[in-house]
Chains A and B, each alone.
Chain A
């Protein structure tokens, strides 16, 4: 593994189903982030984690949950998917939660029907 990986690459999901998007980084970065990207809008922060064991809410957290049990993994869970959660989801990480560059995973394209 080099950098950040995300799985799955894409997914079609029925409304009401539970879904976990996976994110793993091998850079030993302390901070990790989940964004969604929708056409015509900037990236919007869903949840973040400044260090293992801590998480925080971003701009659009409703309907999503995260956990950070260790440094490398930061899964995002949709408890009961709705069509408005159709989006491209990017995981990112940075060395610290300060003025550090964020590096992005390849993204997961999620369609909720």
Chain B
């Protein structure tokens, strides 16, 4: 079966760095997406990785290792507005997204 695992909840301090991990087992691989979702709102796109390595975009970076079925999202210089759920999704061989349950990130002052 297809499976995406990520921690349910994480807590971090304003100004710090946090790493959210995602492991996956899917039928085929056409890339991994990270989305941010604030409570009561729609998911919004953060990053896409299809090749191994690190993609940096401002305060956010995303890493992929296809051989290990592993990705992480790194958030630097945390701000209170980063309090949200972070969703990991893998595009399978049919180009359909398989979603993790999301990681709720709580930022404390």
Contact = CB atoms under 8 A, between A and B. Distances in A.
A22 interface: no
Of the listed residues A44, A103, A104, A106, the one surrounded by the most CB atoms of chain B closer than 10 A to its CB is A104
Contacts of B50: 99
B101 A40 contact: yes
A90 B43 contact: yes
Contact of B42 (A42, A48, A90, A98): A90
B48 A98 contact: no
Interface string A60-104: 000000000000000000000000000000100000011101111
A45 interface: yes
A58 interface: yes
Nearest to A104: B42
B31 A42 contact: no
A96 B98 CA distance: 17
Contact of A106 (B33, B41, B96): B41
A43 B33 CA distance: 13
A97 B41 CA distance: 24
Of the listed residues B44, B87, B101, the one surrounded by the most CB atoms of chain A closer than 10 A to its CB is B101
A54 B97 CA distance: 19
A41 B101 contact: yes
Contacts of B48: 99, 101
A112 B4 CA distance: 29
B60 interface: no
Given A90-B43, A99-B31, A106-B42, A42 B101 contact: yes
Contacts of B42: 90, 104-107
Lowest 5 CB-CB distances: which A-B pairs, in order?
A: A42-B99, A104-B42, A43-B99, A42-B101, A101-B45
